[in-house]
Structure 1
């Protein structure tokens, strides 16, 4: 009798597969997943069981093909292709975010103050139980609505991130495995760089939707909370706004440093992975020549530089998070101090409770802001790295319509020279952020002469030949 822990799903007795019929209630409560979860509790799932799920709106091949077409139509930009592909879903996500934010602010922004005020005035005017009951029931209904909306919001955000990551993964695979110019495949990138893109950068793309939506909804929530606080504490709120602006300016400076440190960290990681890849690729030669100590010293040096970059990265992240996490406490103290000392007003129970509840919402928004900011920075850095790799492999060979050597105009322009390059600058890809691989190149090749290009390894001999053949982009 085989062990149940290792038995193959095909050896298990046949079980009935329920027919899935998705209704509007099942779609609202994600009931279409219940049959699959129930089957998974009884036995191990197999690939054939995935047929129980609703048919997908598009397969991976369809998604990748559509995204690749959109990518080409929008100037080979991943950001533009992402917006053009998913903007209807992004609009839907924005609407759900606004609905969830309104439901969350209804309690602390309106209900709490009204209920506490009603309890305070019980001795003088009597307790208005009916209006208070309706307020509580309305709050309960909106909280249920918020729960449904947030569940679907999270589902669509995750779905968009997975589809975008899968499309970019397919696009990167095709560009690496089938470059337009196969002769340049080994000179443009290496296995370590591509492995880092798949292991690190592609995972960041799954968070691009959540980070992007968080970056626009959080300022809206902060603005609404500030308006509600102005209705409670008056002009004292502007003291808190000044503190928030000061902290946001500091946060912007830290965010710029954070992005630079993250880019430096990824570059250090790429350098270390490259030397490790070269080491294991030629381990026989290393052992034969007893180069273990030299390679160990080089790997240790690169690892030390990577640890320094990690320390700077984490230090900036800690400062950024600390600056944002202490914001609610500092803003609360400054507003209450201005309300009592500057405006000379008395803090009532309703004002204090409502203000603290709103500041709780403000604290949640301010906590989400650095998380969304750092996540968006990480996503943009990863997108730029992936896009650069795709563009490198998408470089096409340029064949200009050169004139015949017997052309009088050509001979008149170049004299006796077949090739003339004056102060040339060449790069593998177009773009302002692309660093040139050859700069200030001055070459004169006389017509009919035998020319030899010599130099040390890595000095650019093959790159110069590629530039002469039109395989590089001429920047100048």
Structure 2
């Protein structure tokens, strides 16, 4: 039966009515049908810009993403990569190998653009010395050579700009694709976690999973002084090894502290009514403040390390310049105007990658920690998908039927939690399951839902089922902490409580 709310002649179904498949017109992505020239110049965005220039953009004005960038396609593609890696039986982490398989084609294209961009960017410094020599000896040089130099500068800059834009666009597109695929997998994994695994995972902890990546390019120095410049650059780069390791350790502690804070905050929000009625505000507020202080201390250490990294690498271009020119003077290398300008242009090119290196180190540390956490999460145990056999209603007179069922909560347990279960519930029956605390009432319902691991036997369900559970407030911690609830420990009273609750 469907219920609807009517007002001003409109009716909106709430349950049981399906909308037409193509009720909303599909907005085809201009990127998917763009020509090569449009892809190179990004002119496929012009229609959207034209609409935005006339009025503020609304959701209906923005076209849908390309099929290759949709979450459904990307999720399925990553799943196929994971299956392909597992089918080959390779050792190691299957998710890492699947991610490499997932991004390798796009990474290869981006790497090609990066190589072209880097190669074109060094044309200018190479030609500066010839250009200075041309200006110094214009009487002895042909005018055509000057035009050729100018065309060389212009052509190199055009190639560099186009390849750089394509490289950056491709890198961001790749990051969004990988993120969409991973988020989809994380969500799907949360729907299939086993009951044993779900006890150690909260929604706040799952939200914390993310990753990122970046690139860097090489350098060129003048003459034999390049050896000194290369040595200075290597010294600067070697400084990032211990800094990255320390940053990774800080990032791991930040994520752990964030998980604890999110878990506790979720518990407090879910049970705010009880906290207010019992006047436990200050106690839980103090606990949250202590967890936030712990997270703050780790973040503060990470930021101080980031500041140190920034100080080192922002001073590195000047350091490299001084070392290079000093080495040239000691080796009696003539520093002509062309060589100096060429070197300064090269140093200017090196500034951006070196300045961005501290941020890159933080991103690498965060990405490594997040990728490890996501991998661990995606490898958690799932529910047994073949634990229940669904039977059509017209083929069975029973809504629920269990024959010689043996069930266990964890595979590590030697003895089944429920043994030799035989149950038949006819359609229309009302059944009450009675027993003491811990006798297996909830476990029996869980095995009917398929949330317990079935060791042997058969479970058949006909029709539909719904489960409305209790919502017990169990804090993160051991049994004693949940019983004491912040009060001081009294052995006699504690054991009396345990006995009264038949725990």
The 5 Å alignment of 1:149-168 reads 149-168=163-182
2:277 matches 1:270? no
Cα drift, residue 352 of structure 1: 1.2
Match of 1:93 in 2: 110
Match of 2:394 in 1: none
Q: For residues 297 and 170 of structure 1, do their structure 2 counterparts lie closer, same or farther at Cα, with a shift above 3 Å needed?
A: same
The 5 Å alignment of 1:255-404 reads 255-340=244-329, 342-394=330-382
2:154 matches 1:140? yes
**Aligned residues of 1:113 and 1:353 also touching (Cα < 8 A):** yes
SS in 2 for 1:339: helix
Distance 2:265 2:188 in 1: 26
Distance 1:401 1:250 in 2: 49
2:92 matches 1:80? no
Q: For residues 40 and 360 of structure 1, do their structure 2 counterparts lie closer, same or farther at Cα, with a shift above 3 Å needed?
A: closer
Cα drift, residue 244 of structure 1: 2.3
Q: For residues 31 and 285 of structure 1, do their structure 2 counterparts lie closer, same or farther at Cα, with a shift above 3 Å needed?
A: same
Match of 2:50 in 1: 38
The 5 Å alignment of 1:115-130 reads 115-122=131-138, 126-130=140-144
**Aligned residues of 2:313 and 2:358 also touching (Cα < 8 A):** yes
Cα drift, residue 48 of structure 1: 5.2
Please say which of residues 263-272 and 253-262 is displaced more in the overlay.
263-272
Distance 2:414 2:284 in 1: 48
Q: For residues 393 and 36 of structure 1, do their structure 2 counterparts lie closer, same or farther at Cα, with a shift above 3 Å needed?
A: farther
Q: For residues 146 and 250 of structure 1, do their structure 2 counterparts lie closer, same or farther at Cα, with a shift above 3 Å needed?
A: closer
Distance 2:476 2:49 in 1: 59
Distance 2:65 2:306 in 1: 42
Distance 1:400 1:303 in 2: 36
Cα drift, residue 307 of structure 1: 1.6
**Aligned residues of 1:116 and 1:349 also touching (Cα < 8 A):** yes
Match of 1:29 in 2: 41
TM-score by length of 2: 0.66
Match of 1:68 among 73, 76, 79: 79
SS in 2 for 1:188: coil
TM-score by length of 1: 0.69
Distance 1:460 1:248 in 2: 51
Distance 1:66 1:18 in 2: 21
Distance 1:373 1:381 in 2: 12
Q: For residues 165 and 256 of structure 1, do their structure 2 counterparts lie closer, same or farther at Cα, with a shift above 3 Å needed?
A: same
Cα drift, residue 49 of structure 1: 4.7
Distance 1:367 1:114 in 2: 29
Relative CO higher for 1 or 2, CA cutoff 8 Å, sep ≥ 6? 1
Cα drift, residue 44 of structure 1: 5.5
Cα drift, residue 23 of structure 1: 3.0
| RMSD, aligned CA | 3.1
Distance 1:100 1:269 in 2: 40
Q: For residues 57 and 240 of structure 1, do their structure 2 counterparts lie closer, same or farther at Cα, with a shift above 3 Å needed?
A: closer
Match of 2:243 in 1: 254
SS in 2 for 1:392: coil
After superposition, the C-alpha distances for 1:46-101 in whole angstroms (9 at most, x for unaligned) are: 555555x7853464322211212212433563321121012111111111100011
Match of 1:194 among 206, 211, 226: 206
List gaps (5 residues or longer) in structure 1: 1-16, 404-455, 462-476
Distance 1:111 1:243 in 2: 25
Distance 1:103 1:348 in 2: 24
Distance 2:196 2:321 in 1: 60
Distance 2:264 2:205 in 1: 11
Q: For residues 366 and 128 of structure 1, do their structure 2 counterparts lie closer, same or farther at Cα, with a shift above 3 Å needed?
A: farther
Q: For residues 395 and 40 of structure 1, do their structure 2 counterparts lie closer, same or farther at Cα, with a shift above 3 Å needed?
A: same
Q: For residues 315 and 115 of structure 1, do their structure 2 counterparts lie closer, same or farther at Cα, with a shift above 3 Å needed?
A: same
**Aligned residues of 2:196 and 2:410 also touching (Cα < 8 A):** no
Structure number, greater radius of gyration? 2
In the comparison of the two structures, how many residue pairs are matched? 364
Larger proportion of helix: 1
After superposition, the C-alpha distances for 1:317-350 in whole angstroms (9 at most, x for unaligned) are: 111122122111111111211221x223442211
Match of 1:244 in 2: 233
**Aligned residues of 2:192 and 2:382 also touching (Cα < 8 A):** no
Cα drift, residue 276 of structure 1: 1.7
**Aligned residues of 1:258 and 1:316 also touching (Cα < 8 A):** yes
**Aligned residues of 1:188 and 1:393 also touching (Cα < 8 A):** no
**Aligned residues of 1:176 and 1:393 also touching (Cα < 8 A):** no
Please say which of residues 247-256 and 27-36 is displaced more in the overlay.
27-36
Cα drift, residue 353 of structure 1: 1.0
SS in 1 for 2:234: helix
**Aligned residues of 1:118 and 1:127 also touching (Cα < 8 A):** yes
Q: For residues 92 and 101 of structure 1, do their structure 2 counterparts lie closer, same or farther at Cα, with a shift above 3 Å needed?
A: same
